[in-house]
Amino acid sequence: MSFKLLAQDIIWRNGRLATMDPDLKTAYGLLENYDMVTRGKTIVAILPQGILDNDVCEIVDLAGRLVTPGLIDCHTHLVFGGNRAPEWEQRMKGISYETISQQGGGINSTVRATRSLSEDNLYRISQPRLEALIREGVTTIEMKSGYGLDLQNEEKQLNVAKRLAEAYPITVSSTLLSAHTVPPEYQGKSDEYIDLICEQIMPQLWQKGLFESVDVFCESVGFSLEQSKKLFLAAQQLGIPVKGHVEQLSNLGGSELVASFKGLSVDHIEYLDLQGIRALKESGTVAVLLPGAFYFLRETKLPPIELLRENQVPMAISTDFNPGTSPFASLRMVMNMAAVLFRLTPEEVWSGVTCHAARALGREETHGQLKTGYQADFIVWNVSEPVEIIYEQGSHPLHLRVYQGKVTHDHSSFF
Ligand code: NIG
Ligand code: FE
């Protein structure tokens, strides 16, 4: 065999590799009796066991355990101040999310809490949320702004995301969601607020390299289709990819708008229709399903899963971790919800948190699969079948967490 091992390489042997590589026609892209070789941060070879002639590098014996790509949580609002438990208590008494938003609660109450915190305090309260996701196997995460809603506070939120990325073994993809809601000082002047984003917040924070895509809440309680389009046009001029919170509470046609900009993803999409689905298929935009928000809002309208499936639109799944509609720092629990509530097959669920989630972040060439040339982010689980990770909750099946080729969590001594 022509592959030449180097002393710095690691051979991961005797794993059941759920590669999630769509080119392999097996379920989960499963490969058995293969060696996976990492060199530094990268997977450099996946070869049938028995051909590597090794007398130079370390071998790690995985003893038949399941190996998957690291989990990717492609839609979160993880950096926020306060919590909305009191508001939730009201909701449990029958007051709707829309009514609470209209009364100045909802997103704007988190805006007040986020603005009132120093950057250091915002960082500190975000840490345990991120740590929870890391511990359960997340290796790439998206984080949105959208609770600052002015230049200084949006920058503060994005700086926190940047500091988290520097401090923890995880890839962070940041998104500008200044168009989340109209802040109090712009009440009744939403067009002017969109101008502020287009002319100041977006260009200045883009220049500082603080985010990699732009998002909007296109909804009756958010921004109109026209306002969303204006934002996307300004983003396009700067070369920034777009995505949208669309069709969550009604169908405004936001998905078609995102698709017309060749956007990365449309997220929520309970009210998406066939016309929107055709547009997504055409543009290659990922449908991001957020079962945590569906569950927590006691939504009854399911996203059009069967139509998405028929039209082969890639479906990703994410926590949407936020204090108002999905206070869940667990992607594994949301994987379970995607199967039970949305009836995704276990294989679709796994694609949804690996290869398709990577695509939703524009990282499908480097993340979300066990494949030569990809970043060596993977989880060794104390199970043998992929479905077990979705099925059982509350247990801690993570055996090894490997990020960029290095073991960051080793629970092998527990078993
Ligand atoms: O993804 N839909 C809008 N944004 C969030 C909710 C944010 C909030 O309520 O604070 C979501 O569900
Ligand atoms: Fe969201």
How many angstroms separate the alpha carbon of residue 6 from the centre of ligand 1?
Answer: 48
For the CA of 245, the closest atom of ligand 1 is 2
What dihedral angle (degrees, nearest 10) is formed by the CA atoms of 168, 170, 176, 178? -50
Report residue 232 CA to chain centroid gap: 21
> What does the angle CA 24 – CA 348 – CA 303 come to, to the nearest 5 degrees?
145
How many angstroms separate the alpha carbon of residue 220 from the centre of ligand 1?
Answer: 13
Residue 333 has what pLDDT?
Answer: 98
- Say whether 180 counts as a known binding-site residue: yes
How many Cβ atoms from other residues are within 10 Å of residue 94's Cβ?
A: 7
Label the pairing between strands 58-61 and 10-18. parallel
Q: Taking residues 353-370, what's their average pLDDT? A: 98
Region at 121 (left for phi over 0; alpha for psi -120 to 50; beta for the rest): alpha
Claim to verify: residue 185 and residue 132 sit in the same structural domain: yes
- Say whether 322 counts as a known binding-site residue: yes
Distance CA 267, CA 278 (A): 16
Percentage with pLDDT > 70 across the chain: 99
Regarding the beta carbon of 107 and ligand 1, being less than 6 Å apart is answered yes
Claim to verify: residue 39 and residue 132 sit in the same structural domain: no
Residue 1 pLDDT class (50, 70, 90 cuts): low
Query: Using an 8 Å Cβ cutoff, are 141 and 78 in contact?
Result: yes
* Residues sharing a CB contact under 8 Å with residue 311, sequence separation 6 or more, in sequence order: 277, 278, 280, 281
Residue 413 has what pLDDT?
Answer: 65
415 or 132, which is more confident: 132
Q: Taking residues 48-76, what's their average pLDDT? A: 96
How many angstroms separate the alpha carbon of residue 410 from the centre of ligand 1?
Answer: 35
Residue 97 pLDDT class (50, 70, 90 cuts): confident
Q: What strands lie across the sheet with 286-289, from one edge to the other?
A: 71-73, 138-144, 171-179, 213-218, 243-246, 265-268, 286-289, 315-317
Query: Using an 8 Å Cβ cutoff, are 240 and 273 in contact?
Result: no
Claim to verify: residue 31 and residue 55 sit in the same structural domain: yes
Which CATH number fits the domain that encloses residue 175?
3.20.20.140
The residue among 111, 190, 97 whose CA lies nearest residue 146 is 111
Claim to verify: residue 111 and residue 18 sit in the same structural domain: no
Regarding the beta carbon of 320 and ligand 1, being less than 6 Å apart is answered yes
Which residue among 107, 112, 221 is best mutated to probe the pocket of ligand 1, counting the most ligand atoms within 8 A of its Cβ?
107
Question: Is pLDDT at 415 greater than 50 in this prediction?
Answer: no
Residue 225 has what pLDDT?
Answer: 98
Percentage with pLDDT > 90 across the chain: 93
Claim to verify: residue 76 and residue 63 sit in the same structural domain: no
Which residue among 74, 75, 77, 249 is best mutated to probe the pocket of ligand 1, counting the most ligand atoms within 8 A of its Cβ?
77
- Say whether 139 counts as a known binding-site residue: no
Beta strands per DSSP E along 99-254: 138-144, 171-179, 213-218, 243-246
Nearest CA to ligand 1 atom 9: 324
Q: Which two tokens stand for residue 109?
A: 């109450």
Question: What phi and psi, each to the nearest 5 degrees, are found at residue 50?
Answer: 105, -15
Q: Is the pTM for the entire model greater than 0.75?
A: yes
Residue 105 has what pLDDT?
Answer: 82
- Per-residue pLDDT reduced to its tens digit, 123-153: 999 999 999 999 999 999 999 999 999 999 9
Ligand nearest to the CA of residue 146, numbered in listed order: 1
Residue 103 pLDDT class (50, 70, 90 cuts): confident
Claim to verify: residue 55 and residue 192 sit in the same structural domain: no
Claim to verify: residue 58 and residue 77 sit in the same structural domain: no
Claim to verify: residue 54 and residue 129 sit in the same structural domain: no
14 or 102, which is more confident: 14
Regarding the beta carbon of 148 and ligand 1, being less than 6 Å apart is answered no
- Per-residue pLDDT reduced to its tens digit, 181-234: 999 999 999 999 999 999 999 999 999 999 999 999 999 889 999 999 999 999
Question: Is pLDDT at 414 greater than 70 in this prediction?
Answer: no
Residue 317 has what pLDDT?
Answer: 98
Q: Taking residues 21-27, what's their average pLDDT? A: 94
Residue 104 has what pLDDT?
Answer: 75
Label the pairing between strands 286-289 and 10-18. unpaired
For the CA of 97, the closest atom of ligand 1 is 9
Which domain, by its residues, includes 257?
71-361
Regarding the beta carbon of 177 and ligand 1, being less than 6 Å apart is answered no
Which CATH number fits the domain that encloses residue 23?
2.30.40.10
Regarding the beta carbon of 108 and ligand 1, being less than 6 Å apart is answered no
> What does the angle CA 250 – CA 255 – CA 246 come to, to the nearest 5 degrees?
45
Q: Which amino acid is at 143?
A: M
| Count of the separate structural domains present in the chain | 2
Claim to verify: residue 61 and residue 77 sit in the same structural domain: no
Claim to verify: residue 102 and residue 19 sit in the same structural domain: no
Long-range contacts of 32-36 (CB under 8 A, 24+ apart): 35/11, 36/11, 36/12, 36/67, 36/370, 36/378
Question: Is pLDDT at 15 greater than 60 in this prediction?
Answer: yes
Q: Taking residues 372-384, what's their average pLDDT? A: 97
Question: What phi and psi, each to the nearest 5 degrees, are found at residue 225?
Answer: -60, -40
